[in-house]
Amino acid sequence: MERGKVVVVEDDPDLQVVVGGILKEAGFGIHAFGHGQAGVAAVDRHKPEVVVVDLGLPDIDGFEVTRRIRAFSNAYILILTASSSEMDTILALEAGADDYLTKPFRARELRYRVEALLRRPRLRTDTPHLTVSSLDVSSLDMQDDNAANGPGAVETQPVVLEHNGLKLHPPTRTVRKDGVEHQGLTASEFDLLHALLAGGRAIQSREELAQALRAAQGVPEGSERAADEQVIQVHIANLRRKLGDSAANPRWVETVHGFGYRMAAPEIPED
């Protein structure tokens, strides 16, 4: 039984065969393309769960491919890069990628990265029958509250995390800002926001947030990557931009210079 569809965008024919073969052996249906524009069109056509994109393509580069895909699809995007440059990694994540893998890589590592992405819940914006807007988060909140207060209930972490008009609902992976549903966060940005909201006013270092992100992504201990702390800075900047937050006058994410990040002070209600 097919585990899902993967579109591979890689211009090296040998590597295209290798990547496709590894993932096909793991049970995935593969659609491979050697040009960026063809890959973007294939994602629109095949609606894959995962897209594997090489940065060095002959027509448009992997950064542009990622940006174009992200404009209409919430598929997981794994970047392949021959460069160990931190800047390439940061630019890929800024474009909307979920993870990256540096060449050369082992077959087991590629398979693991794809499977780890698929373990991260995500509501698909390109699936007509399951969209964020079709879910009534308020009714789910009420059900969760009733269950929590019922006979024999045990104390658990609140299902909905709230702060200054921002509501995050982990079971449905939804975010509301001032009562309005907010879309557009990548899986990594959602997981990072979850970690920050759960920590509240406690300061979390970049390394602690990187560890939380790795845990949310199912990355095992001992798999730390040198660029992760810099990646956190990029994700924080993306979160602020997408939420309309300000580093200078934060409503949500506050920088504590020399230490890390935390949620900003609670707003005082107007009389």
133 assigned to some structural domain: no
Residue 46 pLDDT exceeds 50: yes
**pLDDT value, residue 35:** 95
259-268 pLDDT, tens digit per residue, is 999 999 998 8
Do 56 and 107 sit in the same domain of this protein? yes
- Which backbone phi and psi does 9 adopt, to 5 degrees? -115, 100
**pLDDT value, residue 178:** 92
Q: pLDDT-derived band of residue 84, with 50, 70 and 90 as boundaries?
A: low
The string of DSSP letters for 118-133 reads: HTS----TT-TTS-GG
Reference 122, options 145, 144, 99, 141; nearest CA is: 99
Average pLDDT score over the chain: 80
147 assigned to some structural domain: no
Residue 230 pLDDT exceeds 80: no
Name the pTM for this structure: 0.56
**Please, what's the largest Cα pairwise distance for the chain?**
67
187-199 pLDDT, tens digit per residue, is 788 889 999 999 8
- The two beta strands, 253-256 and 260-263, are antiparallel
Residue 254 pLDDT exceeds 90: yes
Between CA 39 and CA 45 the distance in angstroms is: 10
Q: pLDDT-derived band of residue 218, with 50, 70 and 90 as boundaries?
A: low
Q: What is the CATH number for 180?
A: 1.10.10.10
Least confident of 78-82, 119-123, 138-142: 138-142
Residue 135 pLDDT exceeds 80: no
227 assigned to some structural domain: yes
Do 191 and 258 sit in the same domain of this protein? yes
Domain coverage including residue 14: 5-118
Cα angle for residues 56, 58, 64 (degrees, 5° grid)? 65
Residue 63: what residue type?
A: F
156 compared with 132, residue with greater pLDDT: 156
Select from 61, 91, 118 the last residue of a domain.
118
Mean pLDDT in residue range 16-32:
93
**pLDDT value, residue 229:** 74
Do 110 and 12 sit in the same domain of this protein? yes
Do 102 and 176 sit in the same domain of this protein? no
Cα angle for residues 193, 231, 96 (degrees, 5° grid)? 75
Residue 183: what residue type?
A: Q
State in Å, rounded, how far the first CA of the chain is from the last one. 60
**pLDDT value, residue 214:** 76
**pLDDT value, residue 151:** 41
Cα angle for residues 35, 85, 22 (degrees, 5° grid)? 50
67-76 pLDDT, tens digit per residue, is 999 989 989 9
Q: Helix, strand, or coil here: 34?
A: coil
139 assigned to some structural domain: no
Do 177 and 85 sit in the same domain of this protein? no
**pLDDT value, residue 225:** 56
Least confident of 8-17, 132-141, 142-151, 227-236: 132-141
150, with CB counted inside 10 A (0-12, 13-18, 19+), is exposed
Reference 9, options 90, 71, 77; nearest CA is: 77
Residue 245 pLDDT exceeds 90: yes
Residue 125 pLDDT exceeds 50: no
Q: Is the dihedral of CA 130, 136, 141, 143 positive or negative?
A: negative
214 assigned to some structural domain: yes
Do 101 and 21 sit in the same domain of this protein? yes
Domain tally for the chain? 2
Between CA 86 and CA 227 the distance in angstroms is: 6
Q: Helix, strand, or coil here: 243?
A: helix
The string of DSSP letters for 83-136 reads: ---HHHHHHHHHHT-SEEEESS--HHHHHHHHHHHHTS----TT-TTS-GGGS-
Between CA 183 and CA 174 the distance in angstroms is: 8
Residue 227 pLDDT exceeds 60: no
